[in-house]
Amino acid sequence: MADAHHREFKNRLYAQFARIGKALSSPHRLELLELLAQGERTVDSLATEMGLSLANTSQHLQALRQAALVESRKQGLYVYYRLVEPAVFDVCRAVRTLAEHRLAELDRLVREHFGERASIEPVRMEQLLERARAAEVVILDTRPVSEYAAGHIAGAISVPVDDLQQRLRQLPRNKEYVAYCRGPYCVYADRAVEILRGKGRRARRLLEGFPEWKAAGLPVETGAEV
């Protein structure tokens, strides 16, 4: 009788764990969580970014909320979503890392998309921290301004990649730049490095993104530039 009771407990226990796995089983939901790791977002902005309808985006967010991975608040006509805690991003990163280690197709996909990315060695977080403390580099946050305001690497300046061409005159040629964005598969930093190097600046990208930097407990700031 005791064994049957314990078996029932184990079945119910793993059913709870499986709720998380089920919520993560959609590519769209995984992307939504990585976007929310940058900061709080409205349903409208998420739908626009991902090219989904509002109804479809809302359905995915509801599934994530039912699994207790995100929470929401309403302000006026808009509904804002955010991660419930940093551990949600940790799970997403663990899934990504396992895929990188085990799925050959992922490696082929990344190489095909990013081409010659490996020809310029990226900067790792510990290297950037050391060089930033020594004032040896200028750190560029190439994400949208709203994401920079929600949180950014301490000391970074906001230069969204779409604005970089217009702001080149403000970036001295004698400096070295490290650009970062949302994560290792975000293209903003790559595009920024390409533009900067094409205009004679020394530039590299951060290997990781802002969520990884924050998760590592490294210095961050919030708020827009003054």
Active centre residues (catalytic) = 181
Which residue carries 């929600």 as its tokens? 150
Phi (first) and psi of residue 69, to 5 degrees? -100, -25
Q: Which of 187, 220, 162 shows the shortest CA–CA distance to 39?
A: 220
Residue 216 CB-half CA count within 13 A: 15
Residue 125: both structure tokens together:
């977080």
Q: Can you tell me the distance from the alpha carbon of 172 to that of 19, in angstroms, rounded to the nearest whole number?
A: 51
Q: Can you tell me the distance from the alpha carbon of 43 to that of 219, in angstroms, rounded to the nearest whole number?
A: 29
Q: Which of 202, 199, 146 shows the shortest CA–CA distance to 179?
A: 202
DSSP-derived 3-state class of residue 138: strand
- Please report which residue ranges of the chain form alpha helices under DSSP H: 2-23, 27-36, 43-50, 54-66, 86-102, 104-114, 125-133, 145-150, 164-167, 188-198, 210-215
